Each structure stands twice: as C-alpha cells, then as structure tokens.
Amino acid sequence: MFFCKSKSIRTVKMSNRQIKTDVILIGAGIMSATLGSLLKELVPDWKITVIEKLANAGEESSNEWNNAGTGHASLCELNYTVEKPDGSIDISKAIKTNEEYQLSKQFWSYLVDSNLIRNPEDFIMPLPHMSIVQGAQNVTFLKKRFEALTNNPLFQGMEFSDDPEKLMEWIPLMMKDRVLKEPIAATRIESGTDVNFGALTRMLFTHLKSQNVNMKFKHSVDDISRTSDGSWELKVRNVDNGSVERHAAKFVFIGGGGGSLHLLQKSGIPEGKGIGGFPVSGLFMVCHNPEIVSQHYAKVYGKAPVGAPPMSVPHLDTRFIEKKESLFFGPFAGFSPKFLKSGSMFDLITSVKPNNLVTMLAAGVKNLSLTKYLINQVMLSKEQRMEELREFVPNAKSEDWELVVAGQRVQIIKDTAAGKGTLQFGTEVISAADGSIAALLGASPGASTAVSVMLELIEKCFPQHMEAWEPKIKEMIPLYGVSLMDNPELINDIHTSTGRTLSLSEEMSSQKTRRSV
C-alpha cells in the first residue's frame, strides 16, 4: 500500500497474497460467536478468522441496546401460541422454541463449567415472564392458552389470575391507578430470564481470541467469489485506510445480520436466488428513574395491534445493562431502507435483483396493511408513544421516559407454498448444496435460539464430520438429539443443572422477585 498526498488523493494497492484459513466468520455477532465457540471445541486446530466492519463485537443486532433481551422460551409471547378455528390452542411453536432455548442454556452452562467464560450473572438474570390481556375474548384466550401450556411439562409453574388484587401484587406499576372498564388477566412464571446478548457476545469473542482466533475489526467484505480449488475468496477492505486483502477459506459463514443478504447475493449460489429482504426498525421508551424502576420486576408481553408485525408485540421489561436496572417499553416499529443500523440508505434498493424482483413486488402488494402500519408508527410523536405506554403504565410521565433507537431487522421475503412474495418472520439458514458457505437471514427469536440454529448449520454444512463430532456435542449439550416431549423426566434435571451453573436457581429468582410480590 502507498499513499499519494498531493490533493489529498489516496491510492490503495490490493495485496496479491492470499491469506488462507479453515473457516471465515463474517460478522461479530452472537451467531458467529456461537458457531466459532462450537467449532473451537469440536476441532481446536482449525484456523478461524472473524471479519467485522465495526470496531467491536456485538455492536449491531446482538447489542443490548438493539434487542429486547428476551430469553425466548415461549413463556410470555402470545404470538407463539395460535388459536385454531376450532377454538383450541396450537402450542407447537411454543414447544419448539422452548426446547431450542434449553439447548442454548446447556451450552452456556458448559462454557461456564469449563471456565471458558465466567460470571454468568453478567449476561443472564432470572426474571419472571408474564402475559397480560384485557377484554372478555382475550381473557378467554389467555385462560385456554394457560391450560394448554400447563398440561405440558415444559411450562410447569405457570400461574393464571384474573383477580385485580393478585395482579397488583405481581405488577404494581402496571396496576396502580388503572381504571378497569373490562376484564383483565395475566399469566406469570418465575423461570423466565433476561439475557444481555451484547455482553454474552463479547464474552464469547474474548474466549475465542484467547484460542488464537484471528479477529479483524473495522474490516468489510466487499466481494465473495469461488476459486478453482472449491474454496471461497473474500475481498476484504480495511475501513480506515482502504487497503484490501484477499482471504480464502474452505468454509464461510455469513452472519452479518441484515447485511447477510447482500453478501449471500454476491456469493452467487443458486440457493440464494429469489430471496429478498424487508427492513423494519425499532424504537423503545426507556426509563432509568430508580423510583419507577423499583416498582416493576418482570418481562410483561401484551397482544400485538391488528396488522402489526410479530416483532412489534408490546412489552414492558426489566432490563439489566452494565449491572444497572432499567425499564424498556416497546418496540415501536419504524421504517428505514437500511439493512443495518450502521448501513446505507441504498441497502433496500440495491438488494433488488432480476432474480427476486417479482418476489419483492408481490410482497409489496400483499403487505399493504403492514406498510400502512409502519408509516403510522413512523409518524408518531413522543406523546403519542407515551399514550401507548400508558396502556401498560397508566400514570407514566413523559419526563421519566426517553426514546432509544433499537436495531434494524430484515425479514425474509421468499416464494413459498403460501404464494409469491411471502414475508417470513423467523430465522433461516441458507447454505450451498456442498455446505461450503452458509448465511443466516431473518430475525426473532434468533439470539435466544443461536445454539440450535448453529447446530442445524453444522449438520447441514459438515455432514462428513458429524459421526466423529457427535460425542463431543453431546458432552457440551446433553439435550442434543433428544426430544424433551418424549423424555419429560429430563426437564427438572435440565432446569436444576443449568439453573445452578447460570445462577438461575429458584432461591435466587425468589430473592429477586421479592419486590413485586
């Protein structure tokens, strides 16, 4: 590299040297951190390089200020349990998500027990999870949901109440000064958690760095191409000085959050064609006032407004960030054409390609109500957002709450059995047929199910190694390949062992919840 100082023009020379490694992880978020940590345990001698365009790990979707911090176990998310036409409640998604979260907790416990990460209380805390509804029809739904869930051993310990006095004990901040014009009810379970995924991501990368993983911060992947020997070559640019390096690996994981779609398209693999993305931004109202924060200790989910995307289900959460408690309310949906919080205003338009144009247009036609909803959300004033908050906290005062811009989410758009341009809510691994490259697209419940998602990726991309790796995977994650529904006797053992290691025992949870009962 050389610099030409005249007229402040800089000329950058691209290195002709190809830097080879076994695995390249693009993006330093929770997904890359999880995959890197799993692979380092399975094959310690593999060389791994992490490429991140920002200055630190966990700065985008994984950051604690950019996500809801929910350890998604379907304990409170009403949209994970759907009422069927016959009136029964379908809890299949709730079961699946809960089991996936148990895998995450087991892997984190393994890392703590092995002294690979320490101080679990810095990233996970016990916190009751609650659902609340108003109106006779919604109360009936919640009661049926409660009965369906508590018939399943995964959800033992959940309580239901439609008694305002009991709700006053559970959620005093939400019940104080509330005028009850219609029935109200809530469910509560103490085994919920609050997870600081930003802190966990940084812990995992600190561990990986100690294992000689090459961390390249402030480097951006400009292009991806296949080489003659079947590996992948990445054109990697230093964002500070513009110099370019060529990195090659046998396996590449694209875990760049919303930015993954563009990189998947650059790879040119057939599996990535016909897929689009729709960005949705989020905002939260945040309270730091200790007098108010001390009156609430729970994560409380309500029902989403009609036409709202699932990520916009309103909830009032106790959060732990940098060992300080605060309250978050939201999210309020918004729209930005950026695919990342630090992205470009041209992200959406440049993601439209000839192979996904029809799919994107179809999605636009099918989701006019969503577009209208997002426009209305963007136009809300702070006082209008406070009015929505007062549905949860009747006496909330504007001066106690501030607006915080959360992260960007890019929902997948693809052609499915439901038709062209179907908007997908969830996460999905897209991989090449030979398993040499994979990308993670989508959003919630993403981070909470990171271990399950990365195990799925490992199975898809490294089938030739699975027989040799399976014993180690089961050592790290005893639940791997086991259905808790078929082995209910394991559930208490799992809760007890992970609770002890991660400091989530019932005794600790009870001490924490003493303020709200």
* Chain centre to alpha carbon of residue 340: 14
Measured CA to CA, the distance from residue 296 to residue 302 in angstroms comes to 16
Distances (CA, A) of 340 to 46, 115, 416, 474: 30, 33, 26, 35
Please provide the size of the chain in residues: 517
pLDDT of residue 514: 41
Give the strand pairing for 276-287 and 402-416: antiparallel
In order along its 517 residues, the chain shows pLDDT tens digits of 333 443 444 445 566 788 999 999 999 999 999 999 999 999 999 999 999 999 999 999 899 998 877 888 999 999 899 999 999 999 999 999 999 999 999 999 999 999 999 999 999 999 999 999 999 999 999 999 999 999 999 999 999 999 999 999 999 999 999 999 999 999 999 999 999 999 999 999 999 999 999 999 999 999 999 999 999 999 999 999 999 999 999 999 999 888 999 999 999 999 999 999 988 888 899 999 999 999 999 999 998 766 566 667 899 999 999 889 999 998 888 788 998 888 899 999 999 999 999 998 888 888 877 777 788 888 889 999 999 999 999 999 999 999 998 888 888 898 888 888 888 877 889 999 999 999 999 876 678 999 999 999 999 999 999 999 999 999 999 999 998 888 888 888 888 999 999 999 754 444 444 444 4
Record the tokens describing residue 390, joined without a space.
Answer: 């007062």
SS3 labels along 270-299:
HHHCCCEEEEEEEEEEEECCHHHHCCCCCE
Per DSSP, the three-state class of 504 is coil
Cis upstream peptide for 331 (omega within 30°) = yes
Which of 278, 251, 248, 214 is CA-nearest to residue 52? 214
pLDDT of residue 267: 95
Question: Which residue is associated with the tokens 């209910």?
Answer: 488
pTM, to two decimals: 0.92
Angle at 292 between CA 287 and CA 298, to 5 degrees: 80
pLDDT of residue 71: 80
Record the tokens describing residue 167, joined without a space.
Answer: 């709700």
pLDDT of residue 307: 58
